[in-house]
Structure 1
Amino acid sequence: MNSKYTELLKSKMNAESYEKLIALGNNEVIDFVGLFAGHCNPASIYVCNDSKTDEEYIKSKALELGEEFQLAKNGQTIHWDGYADQARDKVNTKYMVYKENLEKMKSLNSVEFEAGQEEIMGISKNIMAGKEVVVKFFCEGPAFSEFTMPCVQLTDSWYVAHSESILYRPAYEHFKSMAADDKQFFKFVHSAGELDERNCTKNIDQRRIYMDTQNNIVYSMNDQYAGNSIGLKKHSMRLAINKAGQEGWLCEHMFLMACLNEEAGRKTYFAGAYPSACGKTSTAMIPGEQIVGDDIAYFRNIDGEFRGVNVEQGIFGIIKDVNTEDDPVIFANLMRDQELIFSNVLRGPDNQPYWLGSGLETPNEGDNHSGSDWKEGKTDAAGNVIPVAHGNARYTMRLDYLENYDKKGFEAKTGVKVDGILYGGRDSDTCVPVEESASWEAGILIKACTLESETTSATLGKEGVRNPSPMANMDFVSYPLGEYTMNNIAFGKSVDQTPKVFSTNYFLRTKEGKFCTDKLAKKVWLHWAEGRIHGEYETLDTPTGKIPLFEDLKVLFKKYLDLDYTLPEYTYQFTFRCSKWIEKLQRSTAYFKKMDANCPSTIFEAWEKEIATIEKAQADFGDEIEPGKFSI
């Protein structure tokens, strides 16, 4: 295959790697690798196929170069990011936007395309000099399916390549099946940049993550933290959201899970979106149910059905507070001899990992994200005490380790049929524990678009502030919010039977300030929603939807939790609070107007109509309407 990069690629690859690249027969892939082989100037390039040999080579290089270190348990390794590279860099993560689109993208942290291109190409010039880099092929969603999104990653971080090998499906064979001129794949180029003595990125001031959604390429420079460096995670999600919006499908920040009703002999699939710290992972991992995926899902209309797949094959999870009580399934896996990457936790003198909230007896010295000389009481340059591990420390592991893994649902080429959608936020005094939306459109506008996360005493700043988080996806929405919302509505209407939409709120508090229910109550709310999908329960109306009857919840609490649920508890929890809901809708209106100057008026009209409905109910039935006291 002729290419202007042929001689350059031959000079930087051994014969085996060059043959692997050429065997794909894809001019676009060859030109992508060739362009950055010349521009970033690595010493050599290793091309991977889907073989176990290449997987082992990646792992061995990560250890050899000191990007990872072997822990006591077989298969477990540890990686540290630099002290100032511990979370997603929202300031320097930008969309590169053509001039004609800058105005409508101004609220989404954008940079003019030519200026962004000049800056990122300047930063990346010769950034890989002296390094061996790896080219790896992955796909999001199952390979050889309608959902498949092929991806090619070029990186000089073997930790990144290893992480992606755990998190994403291999796709070298899928690329071989593509046409020579097929451009429908995502491209990622990453460099950790110059490294310090701990093999951590030095030039953090030059950290940039620039996303070109027009040409489906992401540039990530001078970073190692996976949220900044692993292109196939949230960077790819932004590309996919943009592509989905143009093509009429959905990419959402959602888990996929199966609710099991053994008595009825049925398995009902739910997707769910929750802002950070609002119960997303704990819902996806409810004991007794099954998990398909915990983070990102694609949805397509296949033969009139709303079907979804897990984009990933692994979990990049926050490890803080993973212990035997709060997260027993994950904790058990972290204790086993199997392939796992721990990042930014403590490596104790016993060569074991320790993290915040683990419930383990923690050593008072060891290696962590601050250096190899950590001791209890150590402070940083600003005088802050450095904890045993970072609060955003992570684990990277395969999904199929989990006992509740739904193998059949995960591997299905056409995905799973989704019958229910859960949207959950965090508030102490507004939303009821579970409520069904009146329709798909109302579910998007009243449930999804109004999602908020309330700040707690553990959050810097004022307690009780509601932070808007429409669809739990605002960090990743890559085109105007109003247009994105309308595309969600349109997609639901395109299928023959839309999923039922439910809101949940696990954080409602009593007048004394205590949580109304414990963590396990979410199983009851889930099974009530499952019953509603199959027409098993009657409901009571509220101004925003439909709520359960006390008698049904009483049975479910006894059946699943062996608890006696009382009428006073039910009455308080399911009281509709008019003023609080009006304020919530007003906050949503203000946020959408701020984020999208051209937001479709139909969204605001729907909220104005809803406010009018609530105001009438308030006048007719009072500010706080107990269950059964409202009528349409």
Structure 2
Amino acid sequence: MFQRKKGTDIVIELGSITTVEAAMQLFEDKLDKEHLSRIQQIKHPEVILKIANAIAMCEPDTVFINTGSEADKQFIRDLAVKQGEEANLPMEGHTIHYDLKDEQGRIIDRTFYIVNEDENVSSLANKMLRHDALAELRDKMSGIMRGRTMVAGFYMRGPVGSPASNPALEITSSAYVSHSAEILYRNAFPDFEKEVERLGHFYTNIHSEGTNRTEDLPDARVFMDRSHRTTYSMYCTYAGNTLLMKKGNHRFSVDKAVYENRGNELSEHMFITGISGPGGRTTWCAGAAPSGCGKTTTAMAGNAFVGDDLAQMWIAEDGTIRSVNPECGIFGIVEDVNWEGDPKLMELLRNPGTEVIWTNVLIDENGVPHWTGNGEEPPLKGKNFQGQWEQGMRDENGKPVPISHPNARCTVSSSALANYSEMAENPEGVETRIITYSGRDSDTMPPVWVGKNSDHGVVIGACIVSAATATEVGATGVKRSPWANAPFIPGALADYMDAQFKFFGNEKIAKDKKPVMAGLNYFLTHEARGGDSKKLLGEKKDVKVWLAWLERRAHNEADAIETPIGYIPRFEDLKHLFETIIEKPYSEELYVKQFSLYIDNIVARIDMQREAYSKNPSTPEKLFEVLKEQREGLMVLKEKYGPVVKPFQLELFN
């Protein structure tokens, strides 16, 4: 059974500092006068002990206490360039960072939960007993910052004052990591101690890239200590492994929601965006999709941007579901970002005026970044994630070397976006009326469908299936991606599923405020619907129409066709929305291809999910009940109409 604060707090064991007095003496010995005066403003004993022991364990030459001032931000930018972690580009405010060639994604094979003897973790994750992790950390992290500067930052994952925000320390010797944190999170040095006292906890993150050499990668590790809400990362640089406030602390937030506030709070791998509707209203949507499956594109398709990756959600006293983004920036995949599909983001990336950290893209001889799918003329040569590059280049296996890595990224502030909403900083969050779930599905589900009730909606999330993306080192093929959150769920998936059913089925949610819960699928191909091309049936900009239909549905202004898997749009409604929202004709022929039910494919998907979840005896029975109901309904349709059921047949059947 998972318990907080159980077992040895490893950083305190290795640092050996157990009193505030000893911590303050260490600060006096290690910090200069300016930074000593800064740390002396922090009085909370646990915060002081975490920082002091991180110093004692890692042994940096100097310590920089980052207050978030403009001078401190500039120091960190300059340090990143001085240490060779970033290089300035000709466009002001733009820098390029390269991760090691063999560390272009999350090192899931070297990522571990630290567990106590009687504690279980997700079957999808690696674990290491506490005493073994202690030995590894003593070996690999003791003295790892010798010769380096430690930067300690004080952040909020969410707006200051929000019920679902979480304070977090980011302690690192990487100026690139610290620079990224300054763009992606809210430096809350003046409010940090007050927020820790208000919320009753904080996260601690300790990282060092060490010597930052390829030969050190076998020693790279990411450890997550759930009991003490502390993460450790070493000998790696990719932000998904090192910017531990992101997915590392997201895991702790999932724990907090599932085991401390089940049914009232969620921590999700979701974008948050506002969709404009009739009469000038804005309807807020949160949606899950595995990394690389269009989450940023969907977030940007809204008219009021709050976030593209993570969401903290809770049920407010007025019976509404509220959401905040723990981040205030974008660490976004750039592959296929172009003027046609992502004009707002392209404005920031191609024009001066915005601070941008590029990672693992190609830089040409003129210092201009290039990436796969940008829709622009590629250069003949340049430098990219694997070194010098030129057109036609092949790797040791004879495969073409792409212009940029599929997981190449850009890091920018959300507030720079043209559709940024100031609601992003509202501690009360945004009232969330639409929940979506999507993956890379080329041949099964329609572009959009709505669950019949909250239980059916939860099952849509539980049954996400996606082609593997480049965000995990070594990932290939097609896999299940429950809620697009499974890699970040520390405990049993059954506990998390139970929390989902309890949250969305909570009687505290007002009846007229219950969210529409829907599936989205942008990746249907012509080939899967009788054609001979692997090209998509739709376009990126079609996302605006699917969201617009869901917006109307949330306000009971759009009718629908009932099916065993949920509700699908009527052709007339979509045709009107295509014409008015994106000024594009929409044919009935295309509608039939996209919204016909391919029964055998859907049933095979259901059977796969039933088999996978049946291996866990603790899976809530509700899941199987919903899947059984859907399967039986589909088989009735197949018996009457055959393996492909068209929308007009569904209407006749109803």
TM range (shorter): over 0.9
For residues 478 and 371 of structure 2, the distance between their equivalents in structure 1, rounded to whole angstroms, comes to: 29
Deviations 1:283-326 (A, max 9, x none): 1112x722111010000111121000111111111122222233
> Is the CA contact (8 Å cut-off) linking 2:436 and 2:518 kept in structure 1?
yes
Task: Give 1:180 deviation, angstroms.
Answer: 7.1
Which runs of 5 or more residues in structure 2 are unaligned?
A: 1-18
> Is the CA contact (8 Å cut-off) linking 2:20 and 2:49 kept in structure 1?
no
Alignment correspondent of 2:358: 342
- The letter for the 2-side match of 1:451 is I
1:567 and 2:588 are equivalent in the alignment: yes
Q: 1:357 to 1:428 in 2, by over 3 A?
A: closer
Task: Give 1:548 deviation, angstroms.
Answer: 1.8
Alignment correspondent of 1:209: 222
- The letter for the 2-side match of 1:253 is H
Q: What is the number of residues matched between the two proteins?
A: 619
Deviations 1:372-416 (A, max 9, x none): x54555666666654443222211111111111112x21111100
Q: 1:256 aligns with which of 253, 266, 272?
A: 272
1:81 and 2:99 are equivalent in the alignment: yes
Q: 1:172 aligns with which of 162, 177, 189?
A: 189
Deviations 1:434-456 (A, max 9, x none): 211110111111x1111111479
Task: Give 1:608 deviation, angstroms.
Answer: 2.5
Q: 1:621 to 1:210 in 2, by over 3 A?
A: same
> Is the CA contact (8 Å cut-off) linking 1:48 and 1:135 kept in structure 2?
yes
For residues 361 and 571 of structure 1, the distance between their equivalents in structure 2, rounded to whole angstroms, comes to: 36
Q: 1:347 to 1:550 in 2, by over 3 A?
A: closer
Q: 1:242 aligns with which of 252, 255, 260?
A: 255
Task: Give 1:182 deviation, angstroms.
Answer: 7.7
1:512 and 2:531 are equivalent in the alignment: yes
Structure 1 residues 63-462: aligned runs within 5 Å: 63-102=81-120, 105-178=122-195, 184-196=201-213, 202-246=215-259, 247-248=261-262, 249-261=265-277, 263-286=278-301, 289-303=303-317, 304-337=319-352, 338-371=354-387, 373-376=388-391, 386-407=401-422, 409-445=423-459, 447-454=460-467
Deviations 1:494-516 (A, max 9, x none): 22232111112222233114533
For residues 2 and 125 of structure 1, the distance between their equivalents in structure 2, rounded to whole angstroms, comes to: 21
Task: Give 1:16 deviation, angstroms.
Answer: 1.8
Q: 2:491 aligns with which of 479, 491, 503?
A: 479
Task: Give 1:178 deviation, angstroms.
Answer: 4.6
> Is the CA contact (8 Å cut-off) linking 2:152 and 2:170 kept in structure 1?
yes
> Is the CA contact (8 Å cut-off) linking 1:194 and 1:202 kept in structure 2?
no
Q: 2:619 aligns with which of 599, 607, 619?
A: 599
Q: 1:358 to 1:41 in 2, by over 3 A?
A: same
Task: Give 1:590 deviation, angstroms.
Answer: 2.3
> Is the CA contact (8 Å cut-off) linking 1:3 and 1:31 kept in structure 2?
no
For residues 351 and 51 of structure 2, the distance between their equivalents in structure 1, rounded to whole angstroms, comes to: 38
SS of the equivalent of 1:3 reads helix
1:501 and 2:513 are equivalent in the alignment: no
SS of the equivalent of 2:494 reads helix
SS of the equivalent of 1:389 reads coil
My pick for the range that moved more, 328-337 or 304-313, is: 328-337
- The letter for the 2-side match of 1:82 is L
- The letter for the 2-side match of 1:140 is R
> Is the CA contact (8 Å cut-off) linking 1:26 and 1:182 kept in structure 2?
no
For residues 209 and 539 of structure 1, the distance between their equivalents in structure 2, rounded to whole angstroms, comes to: 47
Which runs of 5 or more residues in structure 1 are unaligned?
A: none
Alignment correspondent of 2:15: none
SS of the equivalent of 1:152 reads strand
SS of the equivalent of 1:4 reads helix
Alignment correspondent of 2:7: none
SS of the equivalent of 2:483 reads helix
For residues 81 and 538 of structure 2, the distance between their equivalents in structure 1, rounded to whole angstroms, comes to: 46
Deviations 1:196-244 (A, max 9, x none): 5xxxx65111000011112111101110111111011111111111111
Task: Give 1:158 deviation, angstroms.
Answer: 0.6
For residues 128 and 186 of structure 2, the distance between their equivalents in structure 1, rounded to whole angstroms, comes to: 32
Q: Give RMSD over aligned pairs.
A: 2.6
For residues 40 and 588 of structure 2, the distance between their equivalents in structure 1, rounded to whole angstroms, comes to: 70
For residues 176 and 452 of structure 1, the distance between their equivalents in structure 2, rounded to whole angstroms, comes to: 42
Alignment correspondent of 1:12: 30
1:610 and 2:630 are equivalent in the alignment: yes
- The letter for the 2-side match of 1:148 is S
My pick for the range that moved more, 574-583 or 267-276, is: 574-583
For residues 283 and 55 of structure 1, the distance between their equivalents in structure 2, rounded to whole angstroms, comes to: 31
SS of the equivalent of 1:126 reads coil
| TM-score normalised by the chain length of structure 2 | 0.89
> Is the CA contact (8 Å cut-off) linking 1:50 and 1:173 kept in structure 2?
no
Alignment correspondent of 1:523: 544
For residues 72 and 462 of structure 1, the distance between their equivalents in structure 2, rounded to whole angstroms, comes to: 35
Deviations 1:561-614 (A, max 9, x none): 3333333333332222322221111111222245x4532333223322332232
- The letter for the 2-side match of 1:549 is R
Q: 1:394 to 1:461 in 2, by over 3 A?
A: closer
Deviations 1:101-140 (A, max 9, x none): 23x5444222222212321232101111111111001111
Task: Give 1:56 deviation, angstroms.
Answer: 1.4
Q: 1:298 to 1:593 in 2, by over 3 A?
A: same
For residues 275 and 198 of structure 2, the distance between their equivalents in structure 1, rounded to whole angstroms, comes to: 43
For residues 332 and 148 of structure 1, the distance between their equivalents in structure 2, rounded to whole angstroms, comes to: 30
- The letter for the 2-side match of 1:187 is T
> Is the CA contact (8 Å cut-off) linking 2:497 and 2:619 kept in structure 1?
no
Q: 1:580 aligns with which of 572, 589, 601?
A: 601
> Is the CA contact (8 Å cut-off) linking 1:120 and 1:208 kept in structure 2?
no
Q: 1:579 to 1:100 in 2, by over 3 A?
A: same
> Is the CA contact (8 Å cut-off) linking 1:27 and 1:181 kept in structure 2?
no
Task: Give 1:519 deviation, angstroms.
Answer: 2.5
| TM-score normalised by the chain length of structure 1 | 0.92
SS of the equivalent of 2:102 reads coil
- The letter for the 1-side match of 2:517 is V
- The letter for the 2-side match of 1:572 is K
Task: Give 1:185 deviation, angstroms.
Answer: 0.4
Task: Give 1:425 deviation, angstroms.
Answer: 2.5
Q: 1:576 to 1:378 in 2, by over 3 A?
A: closer
SS of the equivalent of 2:488 reads coil
Q: 2:47 aligns with which of 29, 49, 55?
A: 29
- The letter for the 1-side match of 2:168 is C
> Is the CA contact (8 Å cut-off) linking 1:136 and 1:154 kept in structure 2?
yes
> Is the CA contact (8 Å cut-off) linking 2:442 and 2:523 kept in structure 1?
yes
For residues 245 and 186 of structure 2, the distance between their equivalents in structure 1, rounded to whole angstroms, comes to: 11
Deviations 1:18-49 (A, max 9, x none): 22112111111111111121111111111111
Q: 1:56 to 1:482 in 2, by over 3 A?
A: same
> Is the CA contact (8 Å cut-off) linking 1:28 and 1:181 kept in structure 2?
no
